[in-house]
Amino acid sequence: MEVDNKEILENEPNSVKLKYVKLGYHFLVSNAMYLFLVPITIASTHHSVEHFIHLFNYLKFNLLSVTLCTALTVFLATLHFMRRAKQVYLLNFVCYKPKPGLMCSQEAFMEASKRNRSFSEESLAFQKNILEKSGYGPKTYVSKSLLDVPMNQTFEEARKEAEMVMFGAIDKLLAKTRVNVKDIGILIVNCSLFNPTPSLSAVVVNRYKLRGNILSYNHGRMGCSAGLISIDLAKRLLQEEKIKIIN
């Protein structure tokens, strides 16, 4: 084990160098057009019209130079546009809004926690502190299971809550965009805590009868940051494939 660790440490500088070589190559290829045009633009500002006339007369009788310059320009332009990352835009979105009966203020939430008699005074104080610092407003919605006395924190209730949010948002989005479900090529589902088997992405695929070759990704138990990870994944996939996505 010590030998392996030593080899890893010895090879680490080489891997770091290779990383920067790759970054440099990517920067060079991605910005080749600008790197080629900037020096020419700067140089052209230091020459008068007579110089350009002289250059034109020179190139007019030098077919080889004209051909090479044209070929180089076309090659760099083609390389630039081929290597440039495709732009990805958000065309539409939907936020799920539950029924008014699930609206719960801070006071109502704390009262429900006290009625359950499952939390100590220290736990209740911690809950109150979290609610105050997390931006929990008077019109925030919560799961029905958290309002029950006692709290119904079961697997089945968690599944119902997940399906309520997912299906509610997807139904509205499909109705709003009128996208054919068979045209959807990528599905990314993210749930911070609940991660059942079969996965939530499989549930969505079966519910809406999405096509069999869909690229399905399920992010679970990764916390709130998984939302950004899912968006980045969607962006990277769409830069590779021209297909519709529902996230």
Please return the burial class of 88, using the count of CB atoms within 10 Å of its CB with bins 0-12, 13-18 and 19+.
Answer: middle
CA angle (138, 164, 109) in 5-degree steps? 30
Structure-block tokens of residue 227: 């939302």
3-class state of residue 190 by DSSP: strand
Q: pLDDT per residue over 82-132, tens digit each?
A: 766 678 888 889 999 998 889 988 888 888 888 888 788 899 999 889 888
How many beta carbons lie within 10 A of that of residue 217, not counting itself?
18
For the chain, the domains span 2-83
> For the chain, what is the mean pLDDT?
79
Please tell me the pTM assigned to this model.
0.64
Report strand pairing: 184-191 vs 215-220.
Answer: parallel
**244-246 and 215-220 beta bridge pairing:** unpaired
Question: Which tokens hold the place of 103?
Answer: 């609206």
Taking only the tens place, the pLDDT of each residue in 188-242 is 999 888 889 889 999 999 999 999 889 999 988 887 778 888 998 988 888 875 5
3-state helix, strand, coil in the chain (%, to 5): 65, 10, 30
Q: Check if the beta carbon of residue 200 is closer than 8 Å to that of residue 172.
A: no
* Token pair recorded at residue 244: 């519709």
Identify whether the C-beta of residue 194 lies closer than 8 Å to the C-beta of residue 201. no
What confidence tens digit (pLDDT) does each residue in 133-158 have? 888 888 889 888 888 877 888 889 99
